[in-house]
Amino acid sequence: MLPKHYWEKRDFEASTLDPIMGSGPYTLAEINPGERISYRKNPDYWGKSIPFNRGLWNFDEVRIDYFRDNNSAFEAFKKGIADIRVEADPARWSRAYDFPAALDGRIIRERIEQKTPAPVSGFAFNTRKPLFENPLVRRALVEAFDFEWLNQNIFFGLYRRIQGYYSGSELSYLGHKADGRELALLGADSLRIDSAILDGTYELPKTDGSGRDRKVLRQTVALFKEAGWEIRDGRLSNVKTGEVFAFTLSCVSKEQEKIALHYQRTLSQIGIEMSIRVLDSPQFQRMLDTYEFDMLPVIWQNSLSPGNEQDFYYGSSGRRIPGTRNYPGIADPAVDRMIGALLAATTREDFVAAVRALDRLLVNGFYIVPFYDSGGQWVARWKTIGRPAEVPLSGFEGSALWYEKP
């Protein structure tokens, strides 16, 4: 919350390094651009006696340090310059915590479970392009993705596959058969949903992890054949036109390129010509905004109470309006109706039914090649930092930490 009297004589859009007046438990104490920012506890904080804040905001001063790259930040943590590290690199989490403080117990490592929906990430098809109009083609490409090889060889077995748009939460369709509420919402559209998705049992194929699972590849080729494509002279070709199945996957980082290269190797085994293009950030953002791509990596963040943003993510208007987050170009009246139903729901039961019905429709559309997540957070902290035994649904919460004497 920002006070009017502070801003009415200032330009709100102008950049500034002046400490900004706010209404939270801390005030800005020091700003060193590009290096650190410090916050000092406000003794006059208006909310300090509210029961909600009991046990929170336990440090008199909090400092956030900025580093040029992750390696520098990790070295600072090892030396005790930083007290807490939330790790994002499975290789580092598996192999790099072998220094004395981590081995002798001065540093505590733990995986903290989250019960909120996993971020929805994956390679998105641009269904505005004729090549990706057919859901059977998209399903074939989805089921060809060899997650098991990636998990074993790159991610140290630490990830799980994302199974839907609200994966890992009560809102997920997985494990829940469509009930009367859902079927009433879906109406005749339930008839076009795969029966395994409708009864909550559909899971993405699991390969043998070899990178050349013939069984899965045969299933993929069968789907392509049903969609009118077959392998001719080693190239996947359209049965009617002879068109070769070829497209470009655009990405913006070396990490994304690594995943793309693995996918490229898999698809080449069934005659698909996938090119990879690595862009800089402005180029990639322009491509996202204008939808001028074949396939690219995307991410959507969802919560336990999805709302208006779902229309921005998946609503039909985003197929034609530039700048939305409907990257795949989803245009399904049933999806629009489910978004409307979740926004109009007045009971938790109706809300959950609407979100699960939406989940089934999106999964059934095969709009992205789903990625993976860890199912939690990898957190390392020096032993002098304590935390509650119970954590929020969202996982690690920095405001609830305290100092413990060595």
What's the CA gap between 126 and 327, in Å, rounded? 7
Average pLDDT, the chain: 95
- For 156-162, what is the mean pLDDT? 95
pLDDT at 18 over 90: no
Contact, 163 vs 366, CB < 8 A? no
CA atoms within 13 A on the CB side of 395: 18
Matching residue, tokens 């998990």: 151
Q: Quote the tokens at residue 149.
A: 């090889």
- Domain range list for the chain: 4-114+377-403, 120-373
SS3 state of residue 317: helix
| 369 vs 2, higher pLDDT | 369
Alpha-carbon gap, residue 110 to 389, rounded angstroms: 12
Q: What is the mean pLDDT of residues 227-243?
A: 98
Under the banding of pLDDT at 50, 70 and 90, the label for residue 249 is very high
Do the Cβ atoms of 364 and 192 come closer than 8 Å?
A: yes
3-state SS, residue 176? coil
**Distances from the Cα of 289 to the Cαs of 87, 248, 326, in angstroms?**
30, 17, 10
**pLDDT surpassing 90 at residue 138:** yes
What angle (nearest 5°) sits at the alpha carbon of residue 91, between those of residues 86 and 96? Answer: 75
- Confidence at residue 133, expressed as pLDDT on a 0 to 100 scale: 98
Are residues 165 and 238 in contact, defined by beta-carbon separation less than 8 angstroms? no
SS (H, E, C) 370-390: ECEECCEEEEEEECCEECCCC
As a whole number, mean pLDDT of residues 385-399 equals 92
What pLDDT score was predicted for residue 7? 86
* Predicted local confidence at residue 13, as pLDDT: 87
Task: Quote the DSSP letter at residue 59.
Answer: -
pLDDT at position 335 over 90: yes
Condensed to tens digits (0 to 9), the pLDDT of residues 342-390 reads 999 999 999 999 999 999 999 999 999 999 999 899 999 999 999 999 9
Say whether 100 sits in a helix, a strand or coil.
Answer: helix
* Closest to 369 measured CA to CA, from 142, 159, 150: 142
User: What's the pLDDT at 3?
Assistant: 84
Alpha helices in 269-332 (DSSP H): 281-290, 309-314
Q: Which CATH code, of 3.30.460.10, 3.40.190.10, 3.20.20.80, 3.40.640.10, is assigned to 4-114+377-403? A: 3.40.190.10
Q: What percent of the chain has pLDDT over 70?
A: 100
Q: What is the pLDDT of residues 79-133, one digit of tens each?
A: 999 999 999 999 999 999 999 999 999 999 999 998 899 999 999 999 999 999 9
For 292-318, write each residue's pLDDT tens digit: 999 999 999 999 999 999 999 999 999
Identify the bridge partners of residue 238 per DSSP, sorted by sequence position.
229
- What is the reported pLDDT for 99? 97
Residue 2 has pLDDT above 90, yes or no: no
Question: How many other C-beta atoms lie within 10 A of the C-beta of residue 344?
Answer: 10
pLDDT at site 15: 86
- The helix (H) or strand (E) run that includes residue 31 is strand 26-32
CA angle 221, 225, 231 (to 5 degrees): 65
**Per-residue confidence (pLDDT) for residue 74, from 0 to 100:** 97
Q: Residue 322's pLDDT band (boundaries 50, 70, 90)?
A: very high
Question: E strands of 134-224, at which residues?
Answer: 160-161
Contact status, residue 223 vs residue 143, Cβ threshold 8 Å: yes
Choose among 145, 163, 119: nearest CA to 313: 119
Q: What was the pLDDT predicted at 27?
A: 93
Helix, strand, coil: what percent of the chain each, to 5? 35, 20, 45
Q: Which stretches of 269-386 are DSSP H helices? A: 281-290, 309-314, 333-344, 348-365
Question: Per-residue pLDDT averaged across 157-184, rounded?
Answer: 96
CA 317 to chain centre: 23
Does pLDDT of 1 surpass 90? no
* Angstrom distance (rounded) from CA 246 to CA 232: 14
- The class (CATH top level) of 120-373 is alpha beta
Mean pLDDT of 219-234: 98
